[in-house]
Amino acid sequence: MRGTRLACGAAIAVMLVWSGSLAAGPNDTVNAVKQRGQLLCGVSTGGSTGMSTLDSQGNWQGFEVDFCRAVSAALLGDAAKVKFVPLEFKNAFTALQSGDVDILARTATWTYTRNTELNLDWAGIYMYDGQGFLVSKTLGVKSGAELNGASICVAGGSTSELNLADYFRTRRITYTPIVGNTREQSQANLEAGRCDAYTNERGGLAASRTALKNPDGFVILPDVFSKEPLGPIVRKDDPRFRDIVAWTLNMLIAAEELAITQKAVTELAAASPNPEIQRMLGKTGSFGPKMGLAEDWGVKAILAVGNYGEMYDRNLGEGSPIKLARGPNRLWNDGGLFYAPPFR
């Protein structure tokens, strides 16, 4: 009987180890990812154009998809060792809290209550955005102030829903919310005329506009009525994992400032005389091992997705169908808000 119990126990242990569903326990995300050999990244349900989309061949692409690939390259040495977990926004934070995903890259705004009440942490900001309105040109309005009495499509449970209520309450005008669970649902409702306007972050609206059958028939109004700092989210129970995510983002931002491109990174790692580039790319200082990473973790992250500017341009900027201007997402020395702490 004892032998049978031991055998059963061993079998269960083997099943847990090899099930591929190892959830990260407290203070253990880094080890869980390494044992699993895979980073679990929570993203959109596949329709977040420019941020996380799933094509007909089953391939994920987008700005937030690329960021998770960079983290995988930094931590596991391979950008392909990431599993994208599609999540409706209403379930996204719970999935991260429960350990179903290691990181959330799901256009989630950093707010006071989310940070303090959900026991979650934003490991930086990778996009500064603000909320606006997308309307049909046939509606004939020029600003949000003209939407008194309008029906507005909005994602349920989002900060957009709360900001929308504040916008109308402040101006003492009325509206009817048409609440959806996904961006795709709100886009479809707008296109079908079930609402007069769709509200979201302006980056999301620009992406949604490209997905409509007649994008030229719709316009984003000039109103910007919220601050929406978006970034990668982790649990608070593993500071080392947060460090890895945060410094991966810093690596991509600093790489743009120092002109370390995807094409040039290998050559610069071998021959650059710049002391900071040498530290970033693992030639001096042993910076990788300070976080339990390989010496060349930065090289692998940049090789995987390019620097921040390349990643933005390919998915959201001039190199994409969205053609969203960098605006505040430019580097600090170009009038924007981005710079990385020094690699020293």
Measured CA to CA, the distance from residue 336 to residue 133 in angstroms comes to: 23
CA 34 to centroid of chain Cα atoms: 22
Only one residue has tokens 């101006």, namely 171
Look at residue 205 in the predicted model and tell me its pLDDT: 92
pLDDT for res 184: 83
Residue 204: predicted pLDDT: 86
User: For each of the chain's 344 residues, which pLDDT tens digit applies?
Assistant: 334 343 444 443 444 333 444 566 566 899 999 999 999 999 999 988 899 999 999 999 999 999 999 999 999 999 999 999 999 988 999 999 999 999 999 999 999 999 999 999 999 999 999 999 999 999 999 999 999 999 999 988 888 999 999 999 999 999 999 998 887 889 999 999 999 999 998 988 988 898 899 999 999 998 899 999 999 999 998 999 999 999 999 999 999 999 999 999 999 999 999 999 999 999 999 999 999 999 999 999 999 999 999 999 999 999 998 888 898 999 999 999 999 999 99
Other Cβ atoms less than 10 A from the Cβ of 19: the count is: 9
H helix runs in the chain, sequence order: 2-18, 29-36, 63-76, 89-97, 112-117, 159-171, 183-191, 202-211, 239-257, 265-271, 275-280, 297-305, 308-315
Confidence (pLDDT) at 3: 40
**Do 293 and 299 meet the contact criterion of CB atoms below 8 Å apart?**
no
Check residue 18 and give its pLDDT: 39
> What pLDDT was estimated at residue 207?
86
pTM for the whole structure: 0.84
Strands 39-43 and 82-86: parallel
Joined tokens for residue 289: 């091992």
**Which of 270, 262, 275 minimizes the C-alpha distance to 296?**
270
